[in-house]
Structure 1
């Protein structure tokens, strides 16, 4: 399988990006990672990995890269030969089955929208793709979608996110019949705005009604009773960034307190506490899954954290491989087809009928 990797995306590219690709192809015999970016810089990083299977690490040169702080649409228009657009071009042409990038998230999504408009990159029945983030919970990993791809979502989008997130949770995370919740300001049926009330109505009248538990509040997320949580991209992105900040604050505070406590404890007790904290921190690390999938497109796409290291890139390639191999997209198309037929009157009443 061939996967395109944006070698110039991320805070520390291309070093850890290329290193992660080398590790990935060493672990997976039938994997080919197409490194997209500045050929000279990529070659220099590959030279640091003697014995790397170079025949499975081809390079596609891109003379430009989009910075993390650049405005996505402007950058895509001004830098036509950028590594993100070239990666999407490879998938649109059928040269690769998946894309992985730790670069500018906005540029990744915008480039997907451009590619979708010109090369039919969206799956049949999908109105807008959504980014699914993996959060920890007491019951195991959960999916929150959307966390930034669609800031002006309609009820139809949130409904589709619930279906796509549920299929991803089942096929990739191994959750059996994951329940779906709608993030809201209260659990009561009448709470929320026009968007959440319309979304609730779509679920209640659909073949997925049995899996839909209704509204859930932010404080319920980490309980894990609901394994797929849907929201619009604005709310989801705020939630994602607030969660990251809270985790960083928590562990910084714990380090400060332990620095005062540990010198006064027996060595074995200090080691046990340090080990427990390390295990706890690992539950919050994005590196385990590599990044967030962009669901609703042909092929597969993983958007990684900007500070991703080689482990995160390696795992992102692993997940992208699994997504491209499994029947996730086929299931999404099948389930959206059932939905579009079942709830077409509701969508028409909203003034935004099904779009392919």
Structure 2
């Protein structure tokens, strides 16, 4: 039995497979493309080969907003495969799920309707939003995610909710019973005395008793920042726009032969880049990335962090992207450190790309012998 997940999948997928299968459940890693997304053709090919081998596929996992690059897997193509083959399709939307707020406009049909806390009931409209800063690929993929069997999402990330709040969404609510157990002291009803038919909420899920603080904070936050383009969507789209502008600024940044070059156009609000110059080895790129981050921190401008890409996980990076940037890649090159920029803070100034260009130019000057 196997679970299929991309090389870009979060490590928690492998951990969950070990917990579920105790070693008997293997995770098949699906290749990714040059945009750090699951290769849909490779996924289809692997499903076909597993069918010939009579290996049961427990689930296929795709990601809406990968941790390293913010990439969004090709959900529409996976949805088509799921209709054809009938596997359990899970979408890991822990990071990028809240970008779905960009898909809808506000429902203004009942402007005076209020909830129990007095917030306007500004629900997302069924009408799609007319436009969005998100790339067409991301919009298409997020719309297709509704066909998934299950979706996980973390409001404590781009939902701006305190850490500790997560959600599992199931296409069929009946499947929730698979996660629950009954106990007499968890019942809200007594036959012949109290109403029947209501299951206590703590009986559902892997955890038992737990605090209500996380769901309440999520509820209040999403009432204040509704899940549509007029609420949370506006904040997240601003990060997408900044990521796109930063990407363009990096493409034009050259100082004394040094370059900061993005590895991909952003699918969401994350951009990864390398620091390089012509003829530089992969190993030099990693050292230069670390030196660049240190130089930014030294002047009080911690604008980015580091992430490491391994060759076995991202072959297109080593086979095509790095050589195209003038980096020398050898057969012994195993990994490269890159800069990682995350535009999740809604308080970031519109001048960020300009400020980055100025500060980064100074850092590159410092790196020049």
Q: TM-score, normalised by structure 2?
A: 0.27
Structure ID, larger Rg: 2
More relative contact order, 1 or 2 (CA 8 Å, 6+ apart): 1
